[in-house]
Structure 1
Amino acid sequence: MNDATTHAPIPFGINLGFCTKRWVTPELWTAVVRERLGLDLVQFSLDLVDPMWPDAIVDRHASDIRRMAEAAGITIHSAFIGLAHYSFNQLLHPDPAVRNYAEYWLGRAYRFAALAGIPRVGGPLGAIPARLDGSEAEALDEADYGELITRLHRLGERAAAEGLAELYVEPTPLRREWPWNVDQARQMMSDTADSAVPWRLCVDWGHGTFAPLYGEDHGNMEPWFRGLGDVITAVHIQQTDFLLDRHWDFTVPGKVDPVEAAALMRRTGIAPKPVFLEVFYPFEEDSASILNALETSCARLKQALA
């Protein structure tokens, strides 16, 4: 890594999950992103557009998003599945018919993204059900994992047909989801290496530092960055306490220091990859206070990542 790369600015944007039920149209969120937050890079949230809407509605929204983002000078790096779809068990539901539907849903998401000019789509893949005794498995059942990999290859073919450039898996800190550690993520990337569209990782600062799962001595992202740096092409950053997946903004005290985070990304070679602030708020919280907190948080992160 040369000196210029080490000190190059880290691309910084924001995941639009904070817009859910608030700034839901491109007229609204482009103005918030550009005028209030001073950003030109976003990760779209599929909490704002349901790809299962009828084609005429999806197509109109996709066209509006493409047109208004271009007019505002905003690059939409990727689209992530959002909280609504994440709440389902998706590709790991015990009912095969539900898994089939989840695969179809993702295909619809790829179609929307292509129409909206969004080249990448991703998110967590799904969750197996909890056991009756509450115990957690260390690994997926071999047959379930094999079927998941088969589906990821089919999804790669669907994404290629839509003209997408990249698909994302987002590891989560739950044993019922997959992958949840560095070795599992590496295995999945190896098993999908021949996908028609490449599968890559978007790792999250609050997921990879979850102390109840990874231990108290695992309080930073270095093992993820060093172990998976060649397949990580985006990062979520949030303020958190390493005790739960908080998704706080940076007006809240926590254990993530933006300056130290930037230094770690540069030191491990992750720095050229884009970083997205991903925060969520209670629906009853007033919108004005959210905008103020986001302005402060984005200013702090921009300074640290510059």
Structure 2
Amino acid sequence: MSVANPLGINLSFCVKRWVTPNLWAPVVRDQLGLDLIQFSFDLVDPMWPAAILSRHAKEVRTAADDHGITIHSAFIGLAHYTFNQLLHPDEDVRAYAEQWLERAYGFAAEAGIQGVGGPLGAIASRPDGSEADAIDARDYASLIERMLRLGDKAKAAGLSELYVEPTPMRREWPWTIQQARQMMTDVSASATPWSLCVDWGHGTFLPLYGRQADTMEPWFAELNDVIGAVHIQQTDFQFDRHWDFTEEGRVDPVEARALLARTGLAQSPVFLEVFYPFERDSKSILDALKASAVSLKQAFA
């Protein structure tokens, strides 16, 4: 008998709307009927003063406990992702990004969250717009060095796992299955284990990968031993859409669950990750999320 993937939601949909635990916790539990989440650092800035961070961490932990919600991990969010982070051309900015993550680890630990992850950074574009097939070897070596150091810092904070999210961009790392495997090998000695959070709309970005990338099966089959979580979204394989499942797209929830089972990931947690225009009204978003949750719960039951 197959075991259903734990199904949850990333709090990306809460940005500028349900921004505090007393708002998002009842939405997740009572409106969507879910009890598993990924926290988003779009809701809390790790660089806030320590007293504010500590208060919010306690509120997150309390709200999750009161509503019977498990927080699997915390991801960096869209705001921090817009910066080049650990691959910025300025070494001082890279150091700051490392400090940002260290403070994120401290917040997560105080909030009772055991893992933190997300994309790690992007190199700058060239003046002529051309893009290489790989980042510079020195940039990669620097990134691995920082990942290993972050593993030490996460362990000191009390975390148990760190996550890398591959993205479909040549300027970020990793963006191929081979690069992801190499990275996991290169950080295998980390004091805190690193694993992958793979996104359905990233590995199926046809403009980058070509026609052979109209399925996530190669990513799941070849990396199943280093995948710790999965993001699911509705998308058309033309851009990284992050639509909900009221939109027309290429991802079928029933087929998605079958694919995970077929590739050895039947027990991996799956998180709906969706983003909405800031100007869209909150009621229509809530209705779309409810319908999407129903569709996914039926498929993953």
User: TM-score, length-normalised on structure 1?
Assistant: 0.98
The yes-or-no answer on 1:184 pairing with 2:179 is yes
Give the equivalent residue in structure 1 for 2:253. Answer: 258
Question: Which residue does 1:44 correspond to in 2?
Answer: 39
Query: Partners in 2 of 1:217 and 1:100 — Cα distance?
Result: 38
SS of 2:212 mapped into structure 1: coil
**What does residue 222 of structure 2 align with?**
227
Letter in 1 for 2:199: D
Equivalent residue, structure 2, for 1:30: 25
Gaps of 5+ in 2: none
Aligned to 2:293: 298
Shift of 1:237: 0.1
1:77 to 69, 72, 81: 72
Aligned mate of 1:114, from 105, 109, 113:
109
Give the drift of 1:207: 0.3
Q: Deviations over 1:88-116 (max 9, x none)?
A: 00000000000000000000000000000
Indicate yes or no: 2:192 matched with 1:197.
yes
Aligned residue runs from structure 1 range 1-306, under 5 A: 4=1, 7-306=2-301
Deviation (angstroms), 1:208: 0.6
CA distance in 2 between partners of 1:271 and 1:206 (Å): 19
Give distance in 2, aligned partners of 1:287 and 1:186: 40
Q: Give, in angstroms, the shift of residue 217 of structure 1.
A: 2.4
Distance 1:89 1:17 in 2: 20
Deviation at 1:216, TM superposition (A): 1.7
Cα distance in 2 for residues equivalent to 1:271 and 1:136? 36
C-alpha separation between the residues in 1 aligned to 2:39 and 2:184?
24
What SS does the corresponding residue of 1:230 show, helix, strand or coil?
A: helix
Between the two proteins, the alignment pairs up a number of residues equal to 301
What SS class does the counterpart of residue 79 from structure 1 fall into? strand
The AA in structure 2 aligned to 1:212 is P
Q: In structure 2, what is the Cα distance between the partners aligned to 1:121 and 1:217?
A: 31
In structure 2, C-alpha distance between the alignment counterparts of 1:218 and 1:106, rounded to whole Å: 32
What SS does the corresponding residue of 2:197 show, helix, strand or coil?
strand
Alpha-carbon distance in 1 for matches of 2:21, 2:283: 19
Cα distance in 2 for residues equivalent to 1:140 and 1:158: 25
Tell me how far 1:218 sits from its aligned partner: 1.3
Partner secondary structure for residue 123 of structure 2: coil
Structure 1, gaps ≥5 residues long = none
1:139-191 alpha-carbon deviations (Å, 9 max, x no partner): 11111111110000000000000110100000000000000000000000000
Shift of residue 198, structure 1, vs aligned partner: 0.4
Tell me the TM-score normalized by structure 2.
Answer: 0.99
Q: CA deviation at 1:271?
A: 1.4
- After TM superposition, give the deviation of residue 128 of structure 1 in Å: 0.3
CA distance in 1, matches of 2:161, 2:227: 12
What is the root-mean-square deviation of aligned Cα atoms in Å?
0.5
AA in 1 matched with 2:189: D
Q: What are the superposed Cα offsets for residues 119-141 of structure 1, whole Å, 9 maximum, x if unpaired?
A: 00000000000111111111111
Question: 3-state SS of the aligned residue for 2:196?
Answer: strand
- Percentage identity across paired residues of the two chains: 69
